[in-house]
Structure 1
Amino acid sequence: MESLGDEPWDVVICGTGLQQSLLALALSRSKKRILHLDPNDFYGQHEAAFSLQEADSWVTTHTGSSGAESVAQTTTAAPAEGSAGPGGRVFRNANVWRHPEAEANGLTFSRAYSLALAPQIIHTRSKLLSQLVSSRAYRQVEFLAVGSFYVHEPARGDEPAKLSRIPSSREDVFSNTSIPAKSKRSLMKFLKFVIDYDSDDQRDVWQAHADTHLSDFLTTQFKLDDDLRKYILALTLTLDGKVTVANGLAVIHRHLTSMGLFGPGFCAVYPKWGGLSEVAQVACRAGAVGGGIYMLDTSAEVETADVHDKVSLKLSNGISVQAAALISSRDDVSHGETISRLVAVVKSPLKSLFEATVEGAPAPAVAVVAFPSSTIPASESASDPPVYAMVHSSETGECPNGQSAIYLTTHTSPSAKKNLEQALGSLLATAAEQETPICLYQLYYEQTVSEGTPLVETVGAVPKFSFPSPSPNLAFDDSSLDTVKQAWKQVMGDEAQDDEFMIFEDREGADANDEIYE
């Protein structure tokens, strides 16, 4: 341990969240001396995945509304949020509920579960996938197909509540018997427009409306009725329900153009064993193979700055180290966007949600269900934000066979927790094949994000780069990779070459014939 302080480090990275871990991957062939710390005793930071016991322990440090957390403090000059502990406020108001007879009904040993803090889907056209391939890290991650997207339809008269699958292709539209012929023509006109929306011919249609609500644009320009607008808005995965035309068209374009890229019937994938946590751990393993030193349960604070163009850090284990660059996370989250999430483990495989809808398509492991505010019984007004449910089968490795893990998300409001619980109840009642499934376990928490830009400053003469906190989006945001590249350039300095970012040859012994996506 004493040898850690013998030679200066080129960079000290605080936190093993996804962005810090991808930076470690990007630096893994650079021959730089890298010390990678995390004050937590687990990898993944804000994108971690927990066993039940770990989730219970995590909740004890995130129960308060004041933001007193010991998990996120990894900091340097001043405690920084992703690196931070008592000063961080990314997670708060966490609590756990167990069914009184959970074990008798099938809740099994703690490590049979891997509940993700960041259950984001990854569209097949995402830059993250291409960079995992170019960096040769993809062989360590198993990806599963994300299947159908649904909208919850409440009961109408004698017609019971149901889940309506959102059509995302020409075949879907024309095989749907519930959409009238005239509406199908309007929907097809819109889908064709979105595929080519950024071309010179199509920009004139929407650019004058770029900052207006997508819902109004769908009405005035394409004459879509309430039901069709509900389908289109659900595909945007927008948590506040107020997506603009410019943002909405970009998201729907990504959804439609991702369909079929890696195989029929799906447009997105999900990493097995805990979502983005698995990607972060794979990236950290690459960093370790490249010579990086990893220390969990270890935080750092600035001891002295500007010593021979280095900063001296005092680690929580008492050792002092010197570094030429610092990487941390922003802690200015007090006024950021806040989401509420309810994670539920239920005693049912919910098989009806995981059926392949196209011949030759892989069996999906994830389904997405949108609950517009008007369909949520507890919603206080139609202006309340929607609820989204990401339903995961046991194939994700997040729960045992015969059970499902459900991640429900909405914008935080006074009625958010009640809306999430009502949406969960409606989903189980609607998706059940026979009797309503039993909910065995629930984890609730609120998450606040910082500004979406990194903070670049200096500690003495040493550069310090602080990543923004993770995006609350339900689909992975490729802009975070631009931030990773920015941090990589900060560390590499004059050695940085754009065409070398995360582009590596296979290490000796790697199997070049391994499948890219399993």
Structure 2
Amino acid sequence: MTGNESESELPVPPYPPIEPTAFDLIVIGTGLPESVISAAASASGKSVLHLDPNPFYGSHFSSLSIADLTHFLNSHSTPSSVCPDPLYSDVEISNYASRLLSQHPRNFNLDVSGPRVLFCADHAVDLMLKSGASHYLEFKSIDATFMLDADAKLCSVPDSRAAIFKDKSLGLMEKNQLMRFFKLVQGHLSLDESEENDVRISEEDLDSPFADFLTKMKLSHKIKSIVLYAIAMADYDQEVSEYVLKTRDGINRLALYNSSIGRFQNALGALIYPIYGQGELPQAFCRRAAVKGCLYVRFCGCR
């Protein structure tokens, strides 16, 4: 380079064309399962071609801004020669805060699959840590959990013995019942399967509905609701639904909740959430796959 030339004036060499003819694996779509498979195959040394028709990561696990969500719904709600059967129909979109959203378009994102929190000790978190996908994610700690009681009032969910004692919404009898219950669960989980002990929960109780077991433990309706829906995360009304959570599964969920508390120094509670939405999870695995050599291509078309 002479003294009269600058770096910006130098000719830029063309990027070498990528013309692969064969792949060990071709993955279509960037939903969470597809993205995990792509990352795993790439990390094991396989050549992977990853295709996606959408201009965003995540498929139905994506997190979209209001504008992107509007465009996505509109583009999939009208029949065309390419897509005679649209993914959505009769879509009506209303915006009651257009000025606010236009000023801060990237500050609001909607999870297409609905917001879902993760337990700190969940297998999904272990997978992200082991695979390295966690390097491309940022989480926010859910520092407190609340639920509606029978009187439609918010009540806090105690997540430790100290929290139980500090909770002013619980009476002394409720606190004692809850402490005895947690002590029983911890004793059961700490025993070896071959050990016989009065602390172990019987096989008959383990195979019974969890709601019935909590009633047998003489827990109040409020405490039962906290354990069933805020800690064990039961999806349906356990008093009337056919999808009944068994005591064995309920105990395992309590163990997961307990092991999640305090796992990370910057997460006070048991739950965490991707700070930019659920769509960050598949995107993180896609980025990990790309680092390991996966070729990612977007294409236009109908699913």
TM-score bracket, shorter-length normalisation: 0.7 to 0.9
- The amino acid of 2:101's aligned partner reads L
Q: Residue 45 of structure 1 corresponds to which residue in structure 2? A: 59
Structure 1 residues 409-428: aligned runs within 5 Å? none
Structure 1 residues 380-459: aligned runs within 5 Å? none
Q: Residue 307 of structure 1 corresponds to which residue in structure 2? A: none
Q: TM-score, normalised by structure 1?
A: 0.47
Q: Residue 271 of structure 1 corresponds to which residue in structure 2? A: 274
Q: Residue 172 of structure 2 corresponds to which residue in structure 1? A: 181
Residues 122-156 of structure 1, C-alpha deviations (whole Å, 9 max, x = no match): 1111222223222223222112101212111365x
2:46 corresponds to 1:36: no
Q: Residue 107 of structure 1 corresponds to which residue in structure 2? A: 101
Secondary structure at 1:96 match in 2: coil
- The amino acid of 1:38's aligned partner reads D
| Aligned match for 1:98, one of 95, 115, 122 | 95
Are the aligned partners of 1:10 and 1:34 in contact in 2 as well (CA < 8 Å)?
yes
Number of equivalenced pairs: 273
- Unaligned 5+ segments in structure 1 are 74-84, 156-160, 300-315, 317-330, 332-518
In 1: Cα distance, 2:162 partner to 2:89 partner: 44
Residues 218-243 of structure 1, C-alpha deviations (whole Å, 9 max, x = no match): 011x1001111111112222222232
Q: Residue 5 of structure 2 corresponds to which residue in structure 1? A: none
Are the aligned partners of 1:18 and 1:44 in contact in 2 as well (CA < 8 Å)?
yes
Q: How far does residue 211 in structure 1 lie from its aligned partner after superposition?
A: 4.0
In 2: Cα distance, 1:62 partner to 1:211 partner: 45
In 2: Cα distance, 1:58 partner to 1:202 partner: 58
Q: Residue 297 of structure 1 corresponds to which residue in structure 2? A: 299
Q: Residue 24 of structure 2 corresponds to which residue in structure 1? A: 10
Structure 1 residues 312-323: aligned runs within 5 Å? none
Q: Residue 77 of structure 1 corresponds to which residue in structure 2? A: none
Secondary structure at 1:239 match in 2: coil
Q: Residue 12 of structure 2 corresponds to which residue in structure 1? A: none
In 2: Cα distance, 1:228 partner to 1:208 partner: 22
- The amino acid of 1:139's aligned partner reads H
Secondary structure at 2:269 match in 1: coil
In 2: Cα distance, 1:260 partner to 1:24 partner: 32
In 1: Cα distance, 2:75 partner to 2:234 partner: 29
Are the aligned partners of 1:34 and 1:291 in contact in 2 as well (CA < 8 Å)?
yes
Secondary structure at 1:27 match in 2: helix
Name the CA shift for 1:284/1:103 in 2 (closer, same or farther; >3 Å): same
Residues 312-358 of structure 1, C-alpha deviations (whole Å, 9 max, x = no match): xxxx8xxxxxxxxxxxxxx9xxxxxxxxxxxxxxxxxxxxxxxxxxx
Secondary structure at 2:183 match in 1: helix
- The amino acid of 1:226's aligned partner reads H
Q: Residue 116 of structure 1 corresponds to which residue in structure 2? A: 111
Q: How far does residue 23 in structure 1 lie from its aligned partner after superposition?
A: 1.6
Q: Residue 355 of structure 1 corresponds to which residue in structure 2? A: none
Q: TM-score, normalised by structure 2?
A: 0.78
In 1: Cα distance, 2:145 partner to 2:80 partner: 35
Q: How far does residue 93 in structure 1 lie from its aligned partner after superposition?
A: 7.5
In 2: Cα distance, 1:203 partner to 1:62 partner: 56
Structure 1 residues 320-331: aligned runs within 5 Å? none
In 1: Cα distance, 2:47 partner to 2:273 partner: 32
Name the CA shift for 1:180/1:24 in 2 (closer, same or farther; >3 Å): same
In 2: Cα distance, 1:204 partner to 1:92 partner: 54
- The amino acid of 1:134's aligned partner reads K
- Larger Cα-atom Rg: 2
- The amino acid of 2:64's aligned partner reads F
Q: How far does residue 179 in structure 1 lie from its aligned partner after superposition?
A: 1.7
- Unaligned 5+ segments in structure 2 are 1-16, 239-244
Q: Residue 515 of structure 1 corresponds to which residue in structure 2? A: none
Name the CA shift for 1:207/1:117 in 2 (closer, same or farther; >3 Å): farther
- The amino acid of 2:40's aligned partner reads A
Structure with higher RCO (Cα < 8 A, 6+ apart): 2
Name the CA shift for 1:203/1:3 in 2 (closer, same or farther; >3 Å): farther
In 2: Cα distance, 1:60 partner to 1:147 partner: 37
Are the aligned partners of 1:63 and 1:95 in contact in 2 as well (CA < 8 Å)?
no
Name the CA shift for 1:97/1:208 in 2 (closer, same or farther; >3 Å): farther
In 2: Cα distance, 1:114 partner to 1:207 partner: 46
Residues 27-70 of structure 1, C-alpha deviations (whole Å, 9 max, x = no match): 22333221101122221111111111111123335669xxx999
Are the aligned partners of 2:62 and 2:111 in contact in 1 as well (CA < 8 Å)?
yes
In 1: Cα distance, 2:178 partner to 2:208 partner: 20
Q: How much identity, in percent, do the aligned residues show? A: 26
Q: Residue 11 of structure 2 corresponds to which residue in structure 1? A: none
Q: How far does residue 95 in structure 1 lie from its aligned partner after superposition?
A: 4.9
Secondary structure at 1:240 match in 2: coil
Name the CA shift for 1:293/1:190 in 2 (closer, same or farther; >3 Å): same
- The amino acid of 1:96's aligned partner reads I
Name the CA shift for 1:92/1:23 in 2 (closer, same or farther; >3 Å): farther
More strand by share: 1
- The amino acid of 1:292's aligned partner reads C
- The amino acid of 1:183's aligned partner reads E
Q: How far does residue 162 in structure 1 lie from its aligned partner after superposition?
A: 2.9
**Superposition RMSD in Å:** 3.2
